[in-house]
Amino acid sequence: MSSLHSTLLSSLLLISTATGLTADWTQFHGPGGSGVSDAKGTPLNWSDSSGIVWKTDLPGPGASSPVVFGNRIFLTCYTGFGPGISGGNMDSLQRHLLCLDRVTGKLLWNTPVAADLPEQERIREDHGFATSTPAVDAARVYVFFGKSGVFAFDHAGKQLWNTKVGSQLNGWGSATSPVLHQELVLINASVESSSLVALDRKTGREIWRARGITESWHAPALVTPPGGKTEVVTAMSRRVQAFDAATGQPAWHCDTGISWYMCPTPVVRDGVVYLIGGRGPTVTMAVRAGGRGDVNATHVLWKNSKGSNVPSPVHHDGHLYFAHENLGLALCVNAKNGEVVYEERLAPSPGGIYASPVIADGKLYYFGRGGRAVVLAASPKFAKLADNTLENGRGVFNATPAFDGPRLLVRSNRALYCLGEK
């Protein structure tokens, strides 16, 4: 790391330490994609009139999550055309990278990015054109805008590079989020080019490309088996595939039994990859990493018939937690053997659930698409702790929340909310 970057990182850490908000949240679903924070004192109750530290109106809608680094929050949105925008036209479509002050929520800068046209004319389920969560390090912010490519910006909003990873379109839009590994930016470009792509962080130069990635809609997952090399895992139509993260060479693969697409991002713990899916049929499964070739008979630890199509699971204290996206059911599964510990209906129902659950301070948070959230105990014993509503339960909340130290960042199409104690 250069002296300039070291100075920047030190300054940001000093500022965040002074405010008591020291934990960064640097990618989709937090550090390592785990969805778990060690913060204490996270919020339990809030509403449109209470429990809000600050609220910042956004220039446009989006389903991406905020990320946190130092004293700044980074987030994307889109304007000019698409779901949630009336009277727009495709020629006006822009994506935006936003930077907000972590303490006050003030918008510090807004960098627009013109779209590489033509784009998809209609996005199913109104996901829109800003569904990929940024990834951030001490030097750069990395964003993925589908066929427009992968972009890197500095922390002042200046574009540093742009690399195209494919030109194909899809009726569901583009959704996968970048993940950082050593000097690489990993991009699941299943929609754009049926491939997994690794780019150099500094230059955007393509380092390797693995092909044959079909019907995969999630962020890459990194796993390091004991004594082995780090692998990058993608779940796709019919199977799970792992590659050497440094070279892109195939490592292992196994069958899922799901004949259609895979959306939830796998979660990793202690060299085991846990996956859920919900499209023909529903499945939850565990695979021990580190194998070679076909590992169906050797490394698949267990599989059951539960699952979900959109939100990702979270692993906590030996259990997997997730919710079915349409049925309003919360599930807890024993991560060791796949046994279902509980399957309970969330009440009052939060409606459809696209946001992935997150856990901190013994609390498990489920957010519905309209703005209602149910808070459960992060425990294998089902217990509801609270239910809360934003935007009168009539908003559009598709993004996974992020932890900002003990505060919770929740994004709708209209605004970014910081929930917690002032």
pLDDT at residue number 139: 97
pTM given for the model: 0.93
pLDDT score for 22: 52
Query: How many angstroms separate the Cα of 258 from the Cα of each of 4, 112, 303?
Result: 48, 39, 12
What confidence score (pLDDT) does residue 4 get?
Answer: 38
Q: How far is CA 238 from the centre of its chain?
A: 22
CA 27 to chain CA centroid, Å, is 7
pLDDT (tens digit per residue) in 276-328: 999 878 999 999 999 999 999 999 999 999 999 999 999 999 999 999 999 99
Tokens of 60: 């446009």
How far the first Cα of the chain sits from its last, in Å, is: 35
List of the chain residues with pLDDT < 70:
1-22
State the pairing for strand pair 141-144/135-136: antiparallel
What digits encode the pLDDT tens for the residues 324-375? Answer: 999 999 999 999 999 999 999 999 999 999 999 999 999 999 999 999 999 9
What pLDDT does residue 9 have? 42
Where do the structural domains in the chain lie, given as residue ranges?
49-57+314-422
Question: For residue 185, what pLDDT is reported?
Answer: 98
CATH number at 49-57+314-422: 2.40.128.630
Q: Omega into 281 within 30° of 0, i.e. cis? A: yes
Name the β-bridge partners of 163.
150
pLDDT confidence of residue 180: 98
Please report the pLDDT score of residue 86 as a whole number.
87
Instruction: Write down the pLDDT at residue 13.
Output: 43
Cis peptide before 348 (omega within 30 of 0): yes
Please give the Cα distance from 239 to 255 (Å, whole number): 4
In which residue are the tokens 């390090």 written? 137
